[in-house]
Amino acid sequence: MVGYISDDEVFNEINPFRFLLTGVIWLVRNGTNNVNKSMYVECSRNSRGISMNNFVRITSARAAIGHDDKERVVLARVEGKSLVRGLKL
């Protein structure tokens, strides 16, 4: 499963999750860039208190997990240092 899930789905005892992986900013959805939409749908601040707008726009190390159209897992990691090197979303 990829996407947003409800509390009912998370705590479902009939079909429980064994593991969940979370993050912020859904990069690509249905083959199109989803960064701007995701920035407004998700929380206004991340766990470190940085606004989503700043989180998206600063240069920093990045990691992403997803899948391609054949359902193969895709992992991406870019080393960096906030405000110095890396990628902007």
pLDDT digits (tens, 9 = 90+) for 50-78: 788 888 999 999 999 999 989 999 999 99
Q: What is the pLDDT of residues 7-38, one digit of tens each?
A: 899 899 998 888 888 888 999 998 999 999 98
C-alpha–C-alpha distance, residues 55 and 16, integer Å:
32
C-alpha–C-alpha distance, residues 22 and 81, integer Å:
22
C-alpha–C-alpha distance, residues 5 and 12, integer Å:
11
Give the residue ranges of DSSP H helices in the chain: 7-10, 35-41, 52-57
In the chain, where the domains are located: 7-78
Indicate the range of 38-42, 45-49, 70-74, 81-85 predicted with least confidence. 45-49
Q: Is the pTM of this model over 0.85?
A: no
The first and second tokens of residue 15, run together, are 């079909």
